[in-house]
Chains A and B, each alone.
Chain A
Amino acid sequence: MNVYLRETRSGLKSLIFWSLGVILFLAASVQKYSALSLDPASLDIMRQLPKALQEMFGVGYLDFAKLSGFYGMIYPYMVLMTAVHASMLGAVIVSKEERDHTSEFLYAKPASRLGLLGAKALAALTAALILNLVIGAASVSMFGSEPGMPGTIAQLCAGLFLTQLVFLALGVAAAAGFRQPKAATGIATGVMLAAYLLSVAIDVSGKLGALKPLTPFEYFDARRIIGRGEALNPWYVLLCLMLAAALTFWACLRFNRRDLKV
């Protein structure tokens, strides 16, 4: 579809930028690992950290002497980066028509509002998927030397994609659902930062486990997945899909009914 192609093409520069960014970050992490691994004493110390810190860095489950353990430590940063990318992408791709005063052009064309919204959401999804694949490929090439690691990385990337889905839906909903699309990026950022803050608090205090379902940053625990060979928690997988679906559904409903800002 023409809208899909156009949105994909215009988002290409940003996508390349982000892809290079994550690759750089992963490369730097590998660098750090090689530096760390030369100093086994430091790794011992890690195991004697206070429990709260252990929780934070997953020392209890991860062996930092191994590449895989290190990956588990930087995985949360990947989640944060892709969350920022996905929520902003979703919010901007929908709100930009109303922001740039091009809504009179696009939405008067012989295409249904939902069709157009769908095309845009699909373009955003494609971009998120590509970023995910880039992360996966880079991770495997840099961190995947151990046996079974590529498979684990694939699992983590799947979890990553689910989180991306939720934030993408969040961004789209923020832009499609409200009558002031200009506020979309702000709302999406606010919710995302709040979720992140909550996840940090949960990690630091080690006591707020009950609140985990409230923040997608806590759904897929890299420490358990890598350190204990656990699989993705099926409940959280379901939660992600449901959240994404609910947000999208609400977005569609509202977008069809509300006045478009010229």
Chain B
Amino acid sequence: MNIYLHELRAYWKNTLIWTLSLGAGTVFMFSMFPAFSGNAVALSDALKNYPLMIQLAFGLFVDQIGSVSGFYSFIVTFLTLVGSVQAMTLGISVLSKETTGRTADFLLTRPVARGRVAAAKILAVFTCVAVTSAAFITLSAVCAQAVSGAPFNHRPLLLMALSFFFVQLMFLVLGFCAAAVIPKIRSVLPVSLSCVFAFFALGILAAMLGNEKLYYLSPFKYFETYRILTTASYNPPFLAAWGLVVAGLTAAGFQVFIRRDVRA
């Protein structure tokens, strides 16, 4: 479809930069592992009484401290932050640029239903995010294999890496819905940054207050690293909630975009 291709062409460079930066960051972080694990191994016993609350707040866990998976659970949070900013920026800008760039008069008077325009756009940015996530997951697996001295269970690591993609999707549709409701978002990056950091802080808050219900408020807590590390699986109610949130925001964004007035 022409709109889909047009958008992909418009975003490929941006996606490349984000993917390469994320990749570089990932490799850099992994390179710290040898130094990190050298220190950690000796103290696993003493850490067994490490209170859960603190572990959850900082993403560091007793039994996993020395392993690559445990280390990854720490760095994946930071990298997911970066990926979330990318996703939200894409989600917002794909819609808002028609308004701020005044090209809405052109695009929306083509013989294409608005729903299809929205679909093409969201599919395009979804593709960008998917590409970045795929690269990230692959790179994570490769690096983990490379730096880990001992064999390790791949499943928790892969699940954590996959959660990067899921969180990205949440921010993608959040940005999309936001731009549908507020067409004139001009400072896209600052808005995304602030939003992502706000949700991140919210997540830390929720962890500190120990209230699991509050976890639903922050995308960063839907795929809790501790749980993945210990049970090698996602938390079903959160997974369901994730599905609902993503579907709901997408549908809402579509509906608003289809119905709203396009001012000159």
- A/B: CB atoms within 8 Å of each other: yes
Q: Which residues of A contact B (CB under 8 A)?
A: 17-18, 21, 24-25, 28-29, 31-32, 35-36, 39, 41-42, 45-46, 48-53, 57, 77, 80-81, 84, 88, 91-92, 96, 99-100, 185-186, 189-190, 193, 197, 200-201, 204-207
Q: Which residues of B contact A49 (CB under 8 A)?
A: 43, 47
Q: Which residues of B contact A (CB under 8 A)?
A: 21, 25, 28-29, 32, 35-36, 39-40, 42-43, 46-47, 49-51, 53-54, 57-58, 60, 65, 74, 78, 82, 85, 186-190, 193-194, 197-198, 201, 204-205, 208-210
* Contact yes or no, A48 B205, CB < 8 A: no
Q: Which residues of B contact A81 (CB under 8 A)?
A: 197, 201
* Contact yes or no, A52 B40, CB < 8 A: yes
Q: Quote the shortest CB–CB distance from B87 to chain A (angstroms).
A: 14
Given A24-B201, A36-B53, 19 more A-B residue pairs with CB atoms under 8 Å apart are: A21-B201, A28-B204, A28-B208, A29-B208, A31-B209, A32-B209, A35-B210, A36-B54, A45-B49, A45-B51, A49-B43, A77-B201, A81-B197, A84-B194, A189-B85, A189-B193, A190-B21, A197-B78, A201-B28
Residue of B40, B198, B208 near A50 (CB, 8 A) is B40
Q: At the interface, is chain B mostly helix, strand, loop or mixed?
A: helix
Question: Can you list 11 A-B pairs with a CB-CB distance of less than 8 A?
Answer: A21-B201, A28-B208, A42-B50, A42-B51, A45-B50, A50-B40, A53-B39, A84-B193, A88-B190, A185-B188, A204-B32
Given contacts A185-B187, A189-B193, contact A52 B205 (CB under 8 A): no
Q: Which residues of A contact B35 (CB under 8 A)?
A: 52, 204-207
CB-nearest residue of chain B to A80: B197
* Contact yes or no, B201 A25, CB < 8 A: yes
CB-nearest residue of chain B to A55: B39
* Contact yes or no, B187 A96, CB < 8 A: yes
CB-nearest residue of chain B to A201: B32
CB-nearest residue of chain B to A204: B32
* Contact yes or no, B189 A88, CB < 8 A: yes
| Assembly CA distance A18 to B193 (angstroms) | 12
Q: Quote the shortest CB–CB distance from B258 to chain A (angstroms).
A: 27
Residue of A28, A32, A189 near B189 (CB, 8 A) is A189
Q: Which residues of A contact B65 (CB under 8 A)?
A: 50, 53
Q: Which residues of B contact A186 (CB under 8 A)?
A: 189
* Contact yes or no, B47 A45, CB < 8 A: yes
Q: Which residues of B contact A24 (CB under 8 A)?
A: 201, 205
Given contacts A21-B198, A39-B51, contact A204 B78 (CB under 8 A): no
Residue of A51, A84, A99, A206 near B197 (CB, 8 A) is A84
Residue of B39, B49, B187, B193 near A52 (CB, 8 A) is B39
Q: Quote the shortest CB–CB distance from B63 to chain A (angstroms).
A: 13
| Assembly CA distance A92 to B186 (angstroms) | 10
| Assembly CA distance A94 to B152 (angstroms) | 50
Q: Which residues of B contact A206 (CB under 8 A)?
A: 35, 39
Q: Which residues of A contact B194 (CB under 8 A)?
A: 17-18, 84, 88
Q: Quote the shortest CB–CB distance from A185 to chain B (angstroms).
A: 4
CB-nearest residue of chain B to A44: B49
* Contact yes or no, A205 B32, CB < 8 A: yes
* Contact yes or no, A31 B32, CB < 8 A: no
Q: Quote the shortest CB–CB distance from B23 to chain A (angstroms).
A: 13
* Contact yes or no, B78 A200, CB < 8 A: yes
| Assembly CA distance A35 to B251 (angstroms) | 41
